[in-house]
Structure 1
Amino acid sequence: MAASAVSLTVDDVTRSQTFFTTHLGYVVRHAADGFVSLSHDDAIDVILLARGIEVLPPEQREQRASGLILAFTVASGLQEQEERLRAAGVRITMPLRQEPWGERLFQVTDPNGVIIQFVEWAASEQS
């Protein structure tokens, strides 16, 4: 495989595109009416499709991205990422926390309701 992407159907492609390019470091690779392909050097590509777009099969056209979490793993600097996004006016929808198994994470939600989670794994302890 050369690359991987996730395709999300949203109500307003432009609002999600702006969120991803402004706050998450994505760049636009391809765009057309109701469609944009976003790329990032260190993350999975994201394709945004407008709800109702005719390129989708009829049974998928009115669905929206929901019930999923787009997770990005960071090697370090998770707290700095949360602070950067908060300072930029992004609403943190789940503040930074640490799970008992060592995962540290926080979530934001884009203007179309796409949940984006940032995760930092604790170093595994050697026995």
Structure 2
Amino acid sequence: MHISTTTVSLTVEDVAASRDFFVAHFGYQVTAEADGFAALSRTDAAADLVLLARGIEVLPPEQRDQRAQGLILAFTVTGIEAEEKRLRGEGAPITMPLREEPWGERLFQTTDPNGVVVQLVEWTSPNAD
């Protein structure tokens, strides 16, 4: 098997709100769009995103009323302090401030208008005790 692209599909109430959030704050570009649907991509290694309106008929009946929740969309970055400052400056809600875990993970979170949690992570050396 050869995987050429990774795509995360998120079912949300307001496709336009999530689309605009990812375009404005994370540099995604719209590659396809229709009523209740938007496909987003970047030119780097980030996963592509598909946003589907809750209730859209392309989903199997048992999935139509579900929405993205209980997941974290994590992006590994460099220069995490600058990214947090940039997102704050752009008005993106920082829903978990920058912190460092003892295992060497520096992270913070923002949340899109539909409740999709986006976590930015930068890995460092674990703290020595």
Q: TM-score range by the shorter chain?
A: over 0.9
The Cα of 1:124 is off from its aligned counterpart by: 6.7
- Residue 30 of structure 2 corresponds to which residue in structure 1? 28
Identity across aligned pairs (percent)?
64
The Cα of 1:94 is off from its aligned counterpart by: 0.2
Unaligned runs of 5+ in 1: none
- Residue 63 of structure 1 corresponds to which residue in structure 2? 66
The Cα of 1:54 is off from its aligned counterpart by: 0.3
Q: Is the 8 A contact 2:103 2:125 kept in 1?
A: no
When normalised by structure 1's length, the TM-score is: 0.95
Please tell me the residue identity of whatever aligns with 1:109: T
Q: Is the 8 A contact 2:102 2:126 kept in 1?
A: no
- Residue 48 of structure 1 corresponds to which residue in structure 2? 51
Q: Is the 8 A contact 2:106 2:124 kept in 1?
A: yes
Unaligned runs of 5+ in 2: none
Q: How many residue pairs were aligned?
A: 124
When normalised by structure 2's length, the TM-score is: 0.93
2:75 maps to 1:72: yes
Instruction: Tell me which of 105, 108, 128 is aligned to 1:106.
Output: 108
